[in-house]
A and B are shown apart, each in its own frame.
Chain A
Amino acid sequence: MKADRTLDCVGLYCPMPIVKTSQEIKGMKEGEILEVIADDVGIKSDMPAWAEKTGNQFLGIEEEGGEIRVYVKKGSAG
């Protein structure tokens, strides 16, 4: 998936990927897509939960060799 920004969270554990995502998305425009790369499997459930409660749109997950790429689209309230 094509993203406007990429955030590398490989090696980071909860809550850091989510905390960093929330900080990163603050500087983005509505409709822009953020790609977060992580290897803590918790993010697979945490990111949709975070997006739902913050008005951002969770777009999906791509997994390859222990590397998890999650995609979030910035919403109007996010």
Chain B
Amino acid sequence: MSKFEFPPSIKSRPVWGTLEARAGKHHLMIADAEGAEAILGIATPELMANTHIIYIPAGTDYAARLSALKPAQFYEGPSYAAAVTRIQRVLQDAHMGLQVYLTGTEGLMGQAMHEAMQAGIPHTAIQTEHRGSVARRMQCVHCKGITENVETDPFVCSHCGLNLFVRDHYSRRLAAYQGVCIDAEDPGNVPEPKGIYE
């Protein structure tokens, strides 16, 4: 699957990179769905010997191929929410020399980055690579509820039901973009939703 080229944007919007194998004593790779392809792209037996992979398939069938890389530890979880306590536990043990790799959807990378930052790893030291869905994790600025996997602009807040437009303004702390009421000045005048990058 080819990588999506995000259009240029404002300075709070994260810029995702391309994973590369870096020197390190331990490697923590957290991925969902097509993020598996980025791991498969850099995996070598030497790297995998010191790698812990935490993977959420999200309906894809890459798990067996990742497992076949024979990483030192491999975990397949049903959802990010199910995996997060494990991620926190692993990060608790993080020593100098741990390399963190995040790949897959923006929601997965953003949330895992938040955990790594909480553990004291600067966000600039964390490698990322976007793969798969371009859906966004959105915070409603009005009710504060998070709606996962938002694919259209505008969308309906899954908590308060307001019609929200999708901003590029992004909070690393919340791992979310900001959604703001689109029809506040003209109630009921909500444009037809279209894909965020259409």
Check if A and B associate: no
